[in-house]
């Protein structure tokens, strides 16, 4: 049965004009409707499309459901605080409202979430929100205020609020990528067929798909959403697998995945076994009997990686490498991305080049996230070229 997206319940909401008299809750609904429909053809008739067409339609959305839900939570809490502070309409907003709200969130025991409300009702003490939670509750609201500003419905500039907010927000702890295990052995796990893998053509095809997925992740450092979003035509053109594939990453930014020969060969064998599907078909498709042909889900991809990691970890443990096996058991699809960043930097690749390969929004993101890996390389340089005392 087709499920009509929530954004279609009020098809004109995203186009509504915001005025100083618009209520805060209505302005918030307009902002969320715009997030829901960003990148989508809102004029498309969804009544007569099948499940696969509906899924493809949903994939046009610029923001993930998870992102939109987190923004909705942030907005709900902010509007609740504003209404408690005597604000009712957009015209009531003041320049320092968001800054005061941020400082209030940083106080001990102040939490407007339902979880905190239930804790208060039980007489339990509520501690301070974590710095990251405060950021998650406040930073998205700059987008909400920017939308209102675009209608000239507030008497101040969001740029001024943004500068004050930066000073009011708590300092976040330095983010570092977790230490990845060596994934070279894991990448080829599905290359070697077992007797059970070859019982039927479907099982053989599943193994080849899994092998292609692991090789692509290992080769490119792709986010799992990027890998699963690929279509056959993105990697297979002119009767051969390409070494570069266009991709849309976080924030719908366009980028390129780079594939090495092992990945190209694995994808070629997999596509040949599938009979070379049409270009618009998903590259990594479900092969279960109930969902055959639809795009592979993130949970299925996680299970594919997890099963391989557990099997390889068991082998490594028998070899007496308990620490390495324990690290390998924590492997997820995103671990491949960390491994690529770690390996490139410590092999001497330039930070700016690694940033582009991983499709980070800036070099600073790469530097902050992989800083300690770069330090390993700098230590080697220091040890090699520093002067010793006589």
Question: 281 in a domain, yes or no?
Answer: yes
Rounded distance between C-alpha atoms, residue 148 and residue 142, angstroms:
10
Q: What is the CATH number of the domain that holds 322?
A: 1.10.443.10
Residues near 292 by beta carbon (within 8 Å), at least 6 away in sequence: 285, 286
- Asked which of 288, 309, 334 is the last residue of a domain, the reply is 334
Grouping H, G, I as helix, E, B as strand and the rest as coil, residue 246 is: strand
pLDDT value at position 124? 63
Q: Would you say residue 343 lies in a domain? A: no
Three-state DSSP at 23 gives strand
Beta carbons within 10 angstroms of residue 205's beta carbon: 16
What phi and psi, each to the nearest 5 degrees, are found at residue 360? -75, 155
Written as six digits, the tokens of 71 are 């923004």
Give CA angle at 214 (211, 220), nearest 5°. 130
Residue at 341 is within a domain? no
Question: Could you list the residue range(s) of the whole structural domain that residue 330 is in?
Answer: 184-334
> Within a domain: residue 353?
no
For 187-204, what is each residue's pLDDT tens digit? 999 998 877 767 788 999
Write the DSSP assignment of 160-183 as a string of letters.
HHHHHHHHHSPPPPPP-PPPPP--
Q: Is 49 strand, coil or helix?
A: coil
Residue 241 belongs to some domain of the structure: yes
Task: Provide the number of structural domains found in the chain.
Answer: 2
Based on the domain organization, do 130 and 272 belong to the same domain?
no
C-alpha span between 63 and 140 (Å, rounded): 13
Shared domain for 162 and 256, answered yes or no, is no
Residue for token pair 């997030």: 35
Q: What secondary structure letter does DSSP report for 254?
A: E
Q: Please check whether residues 23 and 161 belong to one and the same domain.
A: yes
Across the chain, the runs of DSSP E, i.e. the strands, are 236-237, 240-241, 244-248, 254-258
Determine whether 278 is exposed, middle or buried from the number of CB atoms within 10 Å of its CB (0-12, 13-18, 19+): exposed
The values of phi and psi at residue 255, to 5°, are -155, -170
For the segment 51-79, what is each residue's pLDDT rounded down to a tens digit?
Answer: 554 454 455 445 667 788 889 999 999 99
In whole angstroms, give the CA distance from residue 148 to residue 160.
15
**pLDDT value, residue 37:** 75
Query: Phi-psi region for residue 368, left (φ > 0), alpha (ψ -120 to 50) or beta?
Result: alpha
Please give the structure tokens belonging to residue 47: 């009544």
- Output the CA torsion sign for 365, 111, 35, 85: negative
**Which of residues 314, 334, 354 is at a domain's end?**
334
Q: 5: closest CA among 30, 29, 225, 47?
A: 47
Residue 120's pLDDT is 57
109 and 58 fall within a common domain: yes
Sequence-distant (≥ 6) Cβ neighbours of residue 96 within 8 angstroms: 161, 164
Question: Are 261 and 302 within one domain?
Answer: yes
pLDDT computed for residue 206 by the predictor: 94
Q: What is the pLDDT of residue 113?
A: 58
| Cα-based distances in Å from 216 to 117, 344, 387, 390 | 46, 16, 43, 51
Across the chain, how many H-helices and E-strands are there? 19, 4
84 and 137: one domain?
yes
Q: What angle do CA 209, 210, 211 make, to 5 degrees?
A: 90
Give me the pLDDT at residue 229, please.
Answer: 92
**What is the rounded end-to-end Cα distance, in angstroms, of the chain?**
81
CA–CA dist 65, 63 (Å, integer): 7
The verdict on residue 315 lying in a domain is yes
- Domain assignment of residue 244, yes or no: yes
CA–CA gap between residue 229 and residue 206 (Å, rounded):
18
Q: Are strands 240-241 and 254-258 parallel, antiparallel or unpaired?
A: unpaired
Ramachandran sector of residue 152 (left: φ over 0; alpha: ψ -120 to 50; beta: rest): left
Is residue 259 domain-shared with residue 155, that is, in the same domain?
A: no
In terms of domains, do 50 and 157 share one? yes
List, for the chain, all residue ranges whose pLDDT scores fall below the cut of 50. 1-9, 40-47, 49, 53-54, 56-57, 60-61
User: Which of 291, 313, 334 is the last residue in one of the domains?
Assistant: 334
One domain for residues 123 and 42: yes
Q: What is the pLDDT of residue 199?
A: 79
d(CA 245, CA 257): 5
Q: Would residue 87 count as lying in a domain?
A: yes
Answer yes or no: do 12 and 161 share one domain: yes
- Domain match, 201 and 327 both: yes
164, 189: one domain = no
Q: Is the pTM of this model over 0.85?
A: no
């Amino acid at each position: 049965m087709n499920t009509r997206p929530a954004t279609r319940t009020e098809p004109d909401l995203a186009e509504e004009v915001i005025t100083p008299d618009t209520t805060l809750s209505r302005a918030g609904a307009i902002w969320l409707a715009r997030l829901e429909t960003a990148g989508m053809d809102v004029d498309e008739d969804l009544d007569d499309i099948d499940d696969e067409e509906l899924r493809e339609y949903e994939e046009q959305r610029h923001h993930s459901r998870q992102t939109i839900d987190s923004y909705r939570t942030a907005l709900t809490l902010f509007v609740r605080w504003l209404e408690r502070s005597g604000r009712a309409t957009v015209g009531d907003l003041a320049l320092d409202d968001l800054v005061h709200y941020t400082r209030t969130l940083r106080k001990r025991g102040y939490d407007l979430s339902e979880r905190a409300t239930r804790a208060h009702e039980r007489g339990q003490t509520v501690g301070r929100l974590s710095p990251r939670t405060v950021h998650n509750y406040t930073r998205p609201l700059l987008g909400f205020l920017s939308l209102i500003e675009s209608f000239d419905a507030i008497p101040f500039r969001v740029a001024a609020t943004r500068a004050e907010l930066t000073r009011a927000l708590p300092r976040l702890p330095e983010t570092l990528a977790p230490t990845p295990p060596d994934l070279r052995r894991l990448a080829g796990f599905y290359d070697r067929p077992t007797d059970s893998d070859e019982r039927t053509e479907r099982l053989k095809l599943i193994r080849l798909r899994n092998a292609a997925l692991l090789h692509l992740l290992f080769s490119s450092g792709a986010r799992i959403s990027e890998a699963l979003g690929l279509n056959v035509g993105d990697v297979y053109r002119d009767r051969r697998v390409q070494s570069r594939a266009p991709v849309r990453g976080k924030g719908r930014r366009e980028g390129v995945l780079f594939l090495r020969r092992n990945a190209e060969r694995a994808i070629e064998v997999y596509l040949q076994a599938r009979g070379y599907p049409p270009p618009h078909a998903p590259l990594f498709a479900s092969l279960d009997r109930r969902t055959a042909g639809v795009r592979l889900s993130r949970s299925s991809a996680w299970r594919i990686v997890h099963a391989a990691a557990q099997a390889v970890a068991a082998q490594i443990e028998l070899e007496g490498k308990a620490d390495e096996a324990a690290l390998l058991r924590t492997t997820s699809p995103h671990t491949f991305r960390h491994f690529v960043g770690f390996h490139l930097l410590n092999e001497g690749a330039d930070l700016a080049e690694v940033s582009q390969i991983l499709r980070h929004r800036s070099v600073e993101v790469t530097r902050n996230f992989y800083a300690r890996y770069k330090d390993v390389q700098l230590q080697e340089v220091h040890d090699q070229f520093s002067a010793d005392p006589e």
